[in-house]
Amino acid sequence: MGYLLAIIRLLIYVGVFAFFFLIGLMVHILFFVSKLQRNKWILFFTCWWAKTTCWVLNFQFNVVGDELPKPGSLIVANHVGSPDIFILGACFKAFFVSKAEISNWPFFNLLAWLGLTIFADRKQKRQVRSIIEKIETRLNSNCSVILFPEAQATNGADVAPFKSAVFESVVRANRPVVPVALQYHDGKRPTIAYYGDSFFKHMVTLLKNPRLQATIYILPEIAPGSDRYQLAKASYLGIRKCYLGNI
């Protein structure tokens, strides 16, 4: 039964991919000379792509928090696995900063490219300056950006310390940081959201899984500051306290 569900979902997602791929191409062509309009429509359709993916894979989630992040915020979250992207993308209209390895994921790599994802290669430290500048540009364009400061997926047992370098973008842009804690409720350690060493096996598991539930905790906004280390530390402590307190 699990493999039948996986096949049905895969076939549906091929159609979803084709639909949003064509829309993405059209947006890039129609608004080639207007970055402002291009960014606006890409954020709109990226959000709907994420919502559609959550529907196909039956990712169900609740959002806990009084206010959604203001446009132009850096949204930072703990990172467990690939469902993080779809769930957070469905909650917030924002661009993603993602590891370079996603460029090798079937289907998702093309959509990530069309969605103007900022790719980060942790092996190339000289690239950090470029990533900071790209995030700063998006923030100054009043576009929010989602970042996973752990710089790796964890198995959900804890939150790894945050890397502080990329927080320099909000210092330079004078924009707020919004910490978000993402908690899965599948009763597994590691959670099935964690993709470990084999992305193929991970995707088969998700396609076969009847339902995945999660909660997104939107924590209080951290005002712009001049110290990236303090911004990273405050975000980390807030997210970790919330996450461990709700396991």
Q: How far is CA 9 from CA 90, 150, 214, in A?
A: 18, 30, 20
DSSP tag of 27: H
Query: Which residues form the domain of 168?
Result: 2-245
Helix axes 2-30, 199-208, angle to 10 degrees: 110
Q: 49, 93 in Cβ contact below 8 A? A: no
Q: Say what the pLDDT of residue 247 is.
A: 66
Cα–Cα distance, 7 to 29 (Å, whole number): 33
CATH number of the domain residue 18 falls in? 3.40.1130
From CA 49, how far away is CA 44, in angstroms rounded?
A: 9
Query: In this predicted model, what pLDDT tens digit does every residue of 68-83 receive, in sequence order?
Result: 899 999 999 999 988 9
Within its chain, how far is the Cα of 203 from the centroid? 17
State both tokens at 89.
């993308």
Q: What tokens appear for 236 in the block?
A: 């980390």
Q: Is the pLDDT of residue 189 over 80?
A: no
Q: Residue 240: what are its φ and ψ, rounded to 5°?
A: -65, -40
In angstroms, the CA 243 to CA 73 distance is 21
Over residues 226-236, the mean pLDDT reads 94
> pLDDT class for 123, splitting at 50, 70, 90?
low
Position 139 confidence tier, pLDDT thresholds 50, 70, 90: very high
Helices (H), the chain: 2-30, 35-57, 83-91, 108-114, 128-140, 168-173, 199-208, 228-245
Lowest-pLDDT choice from 64-73, 102-111, 156-165, 171-180: 102-111
> If you compute the radius of gyration of the chain from its CA atoms, what whole number of angstroms results?
17
Task: Please say if the pLDDT value at position 119 is more than 90.
Answer: no
The average pLDDT across 180-195 equals: 88
Q: What is the dihedral of CA 13, 44, 76, 106, to 10 degrees?
A: 30
Q: Are 241 and 158 contacting, i.e. CB atoms less than 8 angstroms apart?
A: no
| Number of domains within the chain | 1
Dist CA 122 CA 124 (whole Å): 5
Report the C-alpha gap between 41 and 23 in whole angstroms. Answer: 10
pLDDT at 73: 96
Q: What does the alpha-carbon distance between residue 70 and residue 179 come to, in Å, rounded to a whole number?
A: 13
Distance between CA atoms of residues 206 and 245, nearest Å: 26
**pLDDT at 106 > cutoff 70:** no
